Amino acid sequence: MSNEYPPPPGYGEHGQYGQTKPRNGLAIGALVLGIVALLLSWIFVGVVLAVVGLILGISARKRVKRGQATNGGTATAAIVVNVVALVASIALSVLWVVAGNWLANNGGEDYAQCLAQANGDQAAIEQCAQDFQQDLTNAN
């Protein structure tokens, strides 16, 4: 009597239940890029990652339409997340530029120069802050 069991049956290309395995690394990569771009949307890097992720997501969706991949939902989700990340990144980039211009026009450069001249002296730093606050009050 033999204690050996027969080998398990082979499944071929179709997996255990007759389903083809998703073959679309582009969709997963695009989704990961979209999530990271969304997390980094407050800095300009988010724009770059979202654009790359959007290109990969569109390419992945085209592969699904041609029948070369089966995870169309992941590709669609990647496109949506990357579009949201792109819009958020552009909006926040514009906000940074506007805020920087406003700050520069309302005493920000004087404040930075004052802090540089203070050389770590706490009393001088506090005076710089008070002067800057006064400049902001006068600007409004």
More confident: 121 or 91: 91
State mean pLDDT over 91-109.
Answer: 85
Q: How far is CA 60 from the centre of its chain?
A: 19
The secondary element (H helix, E strand) that includes residue 89 is helix 72-105
Question: Confidence class of residue 55 from pLDDT cuts 50, 70 and 90?
Answer: very high
Per domain, the residue ranges of the chain are 22-94, 106-140
Is residue 15 scored above 80 in pLDDT? no
Question: Confidence class of residue 89 from pLDDT cuts 50, 70 and 90?
Answer: very high
DSSP 12: G
More confident: 69 or 11: 69
Is residue 17 scored above 60 in pLDDT? no
